[in-house]
Chain A
């Protein structure tokens, strides 16, 4: 299956590449969008083949990254519109979706998107009680009560006055 990116069918004249996800789906992407990823740019510089197989990025995550790359490669969009797109892009996404996105952007070296997604993940954790974060991300507390109390005592300066949320 070859899917065109969100900007519609590509003309024969426009240079394009096919990117295949780890689960076999293929996406037709303009070269101008692909090269916004430093990793894809390097691959394209090194090989003639216009088919790139990404062995550790699934189709859903890849589709999102390509939508991002295509939007940012669109010269017809203003910087303001692109910034609004970035904010919309991460809002309301589940934490697990963001996790796979941040891994993919790290692999593909899409610095701006990696920054946006990592910041969104930090925002989710911000001002939350330790217990909330443990619950939300299934983090096993492997401290003994004594060890946890000792850390709280040693680093008390860091969280004495903070108002934290538990929902």
Chain B
């Protein structure tokens, strides 16, 4: 655990936690099915210049894009939507939602629920919010233990731009 100040700096961070030994058979299975689907596309000659790369490499490439930039790739094609929606690094910044806190919380909740339903790993998880209130605390209390303990997170960051320093 590390603590930082509240001027937009990271003030809670858990890193180095690797729980990859947790059983992710379903995740491995879906990756294998994705690989087979890609091989079939390649055999058909319908594979494009980039999608033939293994999903892990495509995830690596997407990890250098911010969430909004990476989200754009979901529009490319159905297979890219699949790559984007299973990437192991999740980033949510409230400012993207232009003050619509309900939308911010709903998208965050829906995204994490999707990962949980599919038993997907989350290696990096970042949430940035403008203020901390009881609603966001409830949401974070629901997800932080799951993300940290059950989803294989290696780096976890919460950013807060308000003057409220801590939620715990």
Which of the segments A56-64, A74-82, A157-165 contacts the partner chain?
A157-165
Measured CA separation A159–B75 after assembly (Å) = 11
Contact of B149 with A by CB under 8 A: no
A-B contact count (CB 8 A): 91
Cβ–Cβ < 8 Å partners of A159 in chain B = 68, 71-72
Q: Does A122 contact B (CB under 8 A)?
A: yes
The answer to whether A122 touches B64, judged by C-beta atoms less than 8 angstroms apart, is yes
Chain A interface residue count, CB cutoff 8 Å, equals: 35
A158 near B68: Cβ-Cβ < 8 Å: yes
With a cutoff of 8 Å between Cβ atoms, the chain A residues found around residue B50 in the complex are 95, 99, 137, 139
The minimal Cβ–Cβ distance linking A166 to chain B, given in whole angstroms, is 13
Bound-complex Cα distance A100 to B97 (A): 38
Please tell me which one of the listed residues A121, A141, A164 contacts residue B61 in the complex, with CB atoms under 8 A apart.
A121
- Expressed in whole angstroms, the minimum distance between the Cβ of A65 and any Cβ of chain B is 15
B46 and A140 contacting across the interface, CB-CB below 8 Å: yes
Interface digits, B29-56 against A, CB 8 Å rule (1 contact, 0 not)? 0000000000000000010111101101
A and B contact pairs by CB, cutoff 8 A, 20 listed:
A95-B50, A96-B49, A102-B53, A102-B61, A103-B57, A106-B54, A118-B57, A118-B63, A119-B64, A122-B61, A122-B63, A122-B65, A125-B61, A133-B73, A134-B76, A138-B48, A142-B77, A157-B68, A158-B67, A164-B72
Across chains A and B, which 10 residue pairs bring their CB atoms closest together, nearest first? Answer: A122-B64, A158-B71, A138-B48, A158-B68, A137-B49, A137-B50, A130-B75, A118-B60, A139-B48, A119-B64
